[in-house]
Chains A and B, each alone.
Chain A
């Protein structure tokens, strides 16, 4: 079970409180791409809000953190830390400090 923390606006949009827990399909490494696939499958209204609809690239003002590390610039197919895979630590989607 993967734990995901969304920024407040996306929690409102997805109509969830607190963390989201997801099952990432077995058969491959647990990556940020796989987690976001599972997130968007369960909450289709989030499609396009974290990754571009067409390119699937991260939107510029969003960051991915876990285990006190910035994973934003890791490839989407890079394995996530074991603590995230084990559900001990959440995968954080964070709005960058920008705008007003």
Chain B
């Protein structure tokens, strides 16, 4: 019988929630890495027992954790003792170092700072881990300050995919309130050379050659908070999602506006339609219905909670514009939580399961594509991310 495994990152540790295909009774494991911020936990599509976690803290910086048994036990790849031929310790761990120009040895680029000056890139943490679809040892990491890294040895060593920062628009990128982070990595399921990423506040970018060259894909976005609302870069994209059967169709939750592209990001159009507010963070796509999408509207950029104190997921079955509120089982009064950008996921069971976590520590699950909801847990630390694995 199939089962699901939720991988939940919180402000104070990771939790693993498991259930059978009915998704009604849950087992809770955790906290793993208690006391640390866990921005993201994600399993390998190629080997579901291989799971990676981003563990960080203001005191101790970034640690990468790896599990080979579905999250029961963990190790720090590269953290074990190995020796060189000369007998010197050769362990490497948690090292994310930005590339420099091979010609000058200087930083590749600078970005815009809050005061308008140019500022060098400084590594802070890993926001998002995206394991390869085919190789359990290959993982992409989206980091703050915004950059893309890749490991091909299971997390022991990381190298920058420097073409992204190096393509020329870097000096126009700037940090949003949450920092300047690369938070979304979508590996095209049909074209291994194509990757989409999104950065706050720079926008969306695409490579069609496996990461060597990149271009901004922000045409059609409109952002009132930048001097030129239709600029090539500078947009605060919060999340992008696609359906594996139709990777040229992208859905975006921007700082404001829900957007859709039918040409792999070359152009976008707004599909906010009848949403009560089009501010929000998460967006995801039904596992079996490419035109069924989910968002959680948040009141505004200065009021990060649901409108009217009512926690509502909105579902569109038409790929946007026409939205219905999903409320059954969700608090409809006095609810002032937020749902952060990596905190929604869908499983691939039938009917499709939908999950999201809140800054109030609840993880809600729907086993009927959003028609009804129930809390899996109510009192975790603030939830930063939710991923789900559908297991045989």
Contact = CB atoms under 8 A, between A and B. Distances in A.
A, B bound: yes
Interface residues of B, number: 23
Given A13-B63, A41-B89, A44-B89, A53 B95 contact: yes
A28 B62 CA distance: 31
A20 to B, nearest CB: 14
A48 B58 contact: no
Contacts of B36: 9
Interface in B97-149: 97
B191 to A, nearest CB: 34
A98 B63 contact: no
A86 interface: no
Interface string B70-84: 000000101111000
B81 A48 contact: no
Given A9-B35, A46-B93, 10 more contacts: A9-B59, A44-B80, A44-B92, A45-B79, A45-B94, A47-B91, A47-B93, A49-B63, A54-B97, A95-B60
Nearest to A38: B89
B63 A99 contact: no
8 contacts: A7-B59, A9-B36, A44-B89, A45-B91, A47-B91, A48-B94, A49-B94, A99-B57
B64 to A, nearest CB: 10
Interface residues of A, number: 24
A95 B57 CA distance: 11
A65 interface: no
Interface string B239-269: 0000000000000000000000000000000
A7 B93 CA distance: 19
A44 B93 CA distance: 6
A100 B140 CA distance: 30
B61 interface: yes
A53 B59 contact: no
Interface of B: 35-36, 57-63, 76, 78-81, 88-89, 91-97
Given A13-B76, A42-B81, A44-B79, A49 B92 contact: no
A52 B98 CA distance: 13
Contacts of A9: 35-36, 57, 59-60
Nearest to B78: A44
A45 B57 contact: no
A99 B62 CA distance: 16
Nearest to B82: A44
A48 B95 contact: yes
A68 interface: no
Most buried by A among B59, B63, B81, B91: B59
A62 to B, nearest CB: 6
B137 to A, nearest CB: 19
A98 B95 contact: no
A75 B133 CA distance: 47
B78 A59 contact: no
A48 B61 contact: yes
Interface in A42-100: 42-50, 52-54, 59, 61-62, 95-96, 98-99
